[in-house]
Amino acid sequence: MIPCRILLFSLVLFAAVSCLSPGDTHSSGWESYGGNSARTHYSPLSQIDTGNVSRLQVAWQYHTGDAEPMTQIQVNPINIGGILYGVSPKLKLFALDAATGKEKWVFDPVKDQAAAGRGYFQMNVCRGVAYYRGSDSDQRIFYSASSRLYCIDARSGKPIASFGDSGRIDLHQDLGRDVRNLYVASTTPGIIYKDIIIIGTRVAEEADAAPGHIRAYDVHTGKLRWIFHTIPQPGEPGYESWDNPEAWKHIGGANVWAGFSLDEQHGMVFAPVGSASYDFYGGKRTGNDLYANCVLALDALTGKRIWHFQTVHHDLWDRDLPTAPVLVDVNQDGRKVEALAQLSKSGFIFLLDRHTGRPLYPVVETPVPRETELVGEKPAPTQPVPSWPLPIVRQSLDQQDLNHLVADSSLQKIKKQLSAYRHDHMFSPPSREGTVIFPGFDGGAEWGGPAYDPATGILYVNASEMPWILTMVDKSIKPAGSENNLEAGKRLYQAHCMSCHGPALQGGGNYPTLIGVGKKYNSEQFIQLVTSGRRMMPGFGSLSAGEQKALASYILELSASQRDKFTGPPKSPDEWLDLPYGATGYNKFLTPEGYPAVAPPWGTLSAINLHTGQLVWKDTLGDYPELKARGIHSGTENYGGAVVTAGGLLFIAATSDAKIRAFHKATGKLLWETDLPACGFATPAVYQVNGREFLVIACGGGKLKKASGDSYMAFALPAGTQ
């Protein structure tokens, strides 16, 4: 007979081992995007600490082998039972041994789509995956590629045929209107609650955009379990916030592109809802536009609304919420409050009671400028401004704030430019002369999100401070059918392309120039690209064959013999789509030397005590090498978030100088930094396998005119020294 103590030990050991899935090694940490469903970016591991972090070295490097110019990797990988799951620049899902980086399997959605005869594959940005475990034999990875949500067997890398259409769901379906020709994708992974996956989407930002309704699907069958209309329909709360009773049939956007957080104990999911389309002109969607720009709390099992809080009324500045709210506990007036912290592109921190949506500190409805020459526009009279904590970035730009590091002639030039722009208030409406957007279209806070230390109540936020200029132009619209190809192409370019690529095809910000694109694509290839989209560019499948030809003629500058009358089937006049104004693009306000027109800092890292709202420390994040050589630490624009650990550290890459750094979380002192093969525009993951702690960062580059990369880098203390 086996002694009881041995039997008990064996049962415990068996139970422990059986929980380690899908690998067979002892592993812990980072099993979800952002570290956990609360999205705190927190690791309880402490093997790597303030005393030994300087000894970190490369443990392994994995090359995906599919980078090309302007590709990116924004992925925060996950670790399940000693297996790391990540995504490549071209959206290949892969599994690696998390301790060695050795490849186990790769799933290629491009080949999958081609094999199924599903047409051209659209490359989009992917930021991570979601994991579901039903049993040892039922472990699933969910991720999105092109317009499809895939369900992949975590052990084999094969689609699970019983889910949806042979392992995939087309995200165009279940939205309540025909959007088959509109852009719909999912960039940030959904979140798992019990046996459902809750999904948000990225949609186009022009007038012709799909609605951003939130959906939940059964993880086993792929059947729709519930939908929440982010643009309310008749009879639903919030419908009255749209002046035009027909708006819900036509307006798109109000989408959750930045992911979700989840209070599993109370069954509540929290959604950061984006702005309604079109981003910069709201004359067709007057009113407060619920639930656009809202923190939205839903019953995770049913999708029923619990509460909402709107952070911007009638958004005209693309100030959609960029990251999921972080679930936090705050000590206030001697009691613990279960709360959430929602960061904004404007640099505000909205601290809200998790159960009621009530602000922990007063949020003041503040009068803002309403004067606009744009016909039909009705800016909101007030905007919600938190009284505390204070903003994490500057929010105004005046002459004394301009970049003084450049030559005097350059300074005088940007002073003259600023005097011609509208810059009287951070909520100044868009204008023909140009309105300063500061902090910029990319924040303030961005999609990387903050990190939160539950032991101290300190929130760590990386932010950018880059001024952009929003300029509106009149769009001349001729009667349908009366245009030649170039005229029609120009109209279509203004409607669909100009806001990213500029009025003269010059590009700007993170968007490439289209000048000379005719050397790379012929008309047929270009039409295929426009129809399907690629990475940051949505597809425009709703354009007719004639419109596609006209757009190609205009952009590719075809010969005069091909500039014939526009005889393709024109789109019928649509009052919702034919907007009178368009924006000239996402244009940064730069000095002649190419630096931000505002004085440094351009990138910062801040620590805020949420119990008091006080700033603990703040420093620049990132460097321009030539300025650093002069002793100037300017900070850089940054994309991706930080990780805070029980070992006293804050790890972050994110910067344009292609480094990863470790800071002392209590003081902000830089303790370690090292070069990466490409910029790490992503959030690191921290986990432990067989007693060894690893730090992993995706090095994809591809933004801020930086070279693209294809690697995942893992760092650890020297083997045998843990």
pLDDT in tens, 144-178: 999 999 999 999 999 999 999 999 999 999 999 99
Q: Which of 108-112, 516-520, 579-583 is the least confident region? A: 516-520
C-alpha torsion angle, residues 16, 17, 22, 25 (rounded to 10): 110
Confidence of residue 626 (pLDDT cuts 50, 70, 90): very high
Element (DSSP H or E) covering residue 107: strand 103-107
Question: Looking at the domain assignment, is residue 263 inside a domain?
Answer: yes
Could you tell me where the beta strands, DSSP code E, fall in 489-647?
Answer: 581-583, 587-588, 603-609, 614-620, 642-645
First to last CA, the chain: 40
Residues 491 and 387 in one domain: no
Q: What is the largest CA-CA distance in the chain?
A: 95
Residues 498 and 388 in one domain: no
pLDDT reading at 491 higher than 60: yes
Question: Looking at the domain assignment, is residue 620 inside a domain?
Answer: no
Q: Are 378 and 282 in contact (CB under 8 A)?
A: yes
Residues 386 and 493 in one domain: no
Question: Among candidates 214, 223, 31, which has minimal Cα distance to 139?
Answer: 31
pLDDT in tens, 221-256: 999 999 999 999 999 999 999 999 999 999 999 999
Name the percent of the chain lying above pLDDT 90. 79
Separation of alpha carbons 691 and 716, rounded Å: 11
Question: Looking at the domain assignment, is residue 555 inside a domain?
Answer: yes
pLDDT in tens, 180-226: 999 999 999 999 999 999 999 999 999 999 999 999 999 999 999 99
pLDDT reading at 516 higher than 80: no
Predicted confidence at residue 123, as pLDDT, reads: 87
Residues 374 and 483 in one domain: no
Tokens for 503? 């009025």
Separation of alpha carbons 224 and 335, rounded Å: 40
Question: Looking at the domain assignment, is residue 598 inside a domain?
Answer: no
Looking at the structure of the chain, the number of domains it has is: 2
Predicted confidence at residue 536, as pLDDT, reads: 59
pLDDT reading at 486 higher than 70: no
Residues 373 and 487 in one domain: no
Residues 446, 448, 453, CA angle at the centre, nearest 5°? 115
Residues 353 and 492 in one domain: no
Confidence of residue 445 (pLDDT cuts 50, 70, 90): very high
Separation of alpha carbons 225 and 313, rounded Å: 30
pLDDT reading at 126 higher than 50: yes
Answer with the one of 559, 578, 597 that is the final residue of a domain: 578
Report the CATH number at residue 516.
1.10.760.10
Question: Looking at the domain assignment, is residue 527 inside a domain?
Answer: yes
- DSSP one-letter code for 347: S
Q: Across-strand partners of 272?
A: 295
pLDDT reading at 561 higher than 50: no
pLDDT in tens, 374-392: 999 999 999 999 999 999 9
Residues 327 and 202 in one domain: yes
Predicted confidence at residue 481, as pLDDT, reads: 56
Separation of alpha carbons 557 and 642, rounded Å: 45
Q: Which of 82-96, 383-397, 514-528, 547-561 is the least confident region? A: 547-561
| Side-by-side strand order, sheet with 451-453 | 451-453, 458-464, 603-609, 614-620
pLDDT reading at 548 higher than 80: no
pLDDT reading at 2 higher than 80: no
pLDDT reading at 480 higher than 60: no
What pTM, to 2 d.p., does this model score? 0.88
Question: Among candidates 335, 340, 364, which has minimal Cα distance to 350?
Answer: 340
18 three-state secondary structure: helix
Confidence of residue 21 (pLDDT cuts 50, 70, 90): very low
Separation of alpha carbons 392 and 349, rounded Å: 8
- DSSP one-letter code for 585: -
Report the CATH number at residue 385.
2.140.10.10
Q: Are 570 and 578 in contact (CB under 8 A)?
A: no
Answer with the one of 578, 610, 634 that is the final residue of a domain: 578
Answer with the one of 558, 578, 598 that is the final residue of a domain: 578
Predicted confidence at residue 25, as pLDDT, reads: 66
Residues 243 and 365 in one domain: yes
722 half-sphere exposure, CB direction, 13 A CA radius: 16
Residues 196 and 312 in one domain: yes
Predicted confidence at residue 542, as pLDDT, reads: 60
Question: Looking at the domain assignment, is residue 503 inside a domain?
Answer: yes
Predicted confidence at residue 458, as pLDDT, reads: 98
Separation of alpha carbons 260 and 308, rounded Å: 14
Question: Looking at the domain assignment, is residue 445 inside a domain?
Answer: no
Question: Among candidates 412, 401, 400, 325, which has minimal Cα distance to 360?
Answer: 325
Domain coverage including residue 265: 171-392
pLDDT in tens, 33-69: 999 999 999 999 999 999 999 999 999 999 999 999 9
The pLDDT of 327-340, averaged and rounded, is 96
Instruction: Please provide the DSSP assignment of 131-196 as one string.
Output: EEEEETTEEEEEEEETTEEEEEETTT--B-TTTBTTTEEETTTTSSS--TTS-EE--S--EEETTE
Question: Looking at the domain assignment, is residue 510 inside a domain?
Answer: yes
Separation of alpha carbons 139 and 19, rounded Å: 12
pLDDT reading at 673 higher than 60: yes
Predicted confidence at residue 20, as pLDDT, reads: 41
pLDDT reading at 11 higher than 50: no
Predicted confidence at residue 118, as pLDDT, reads: 73
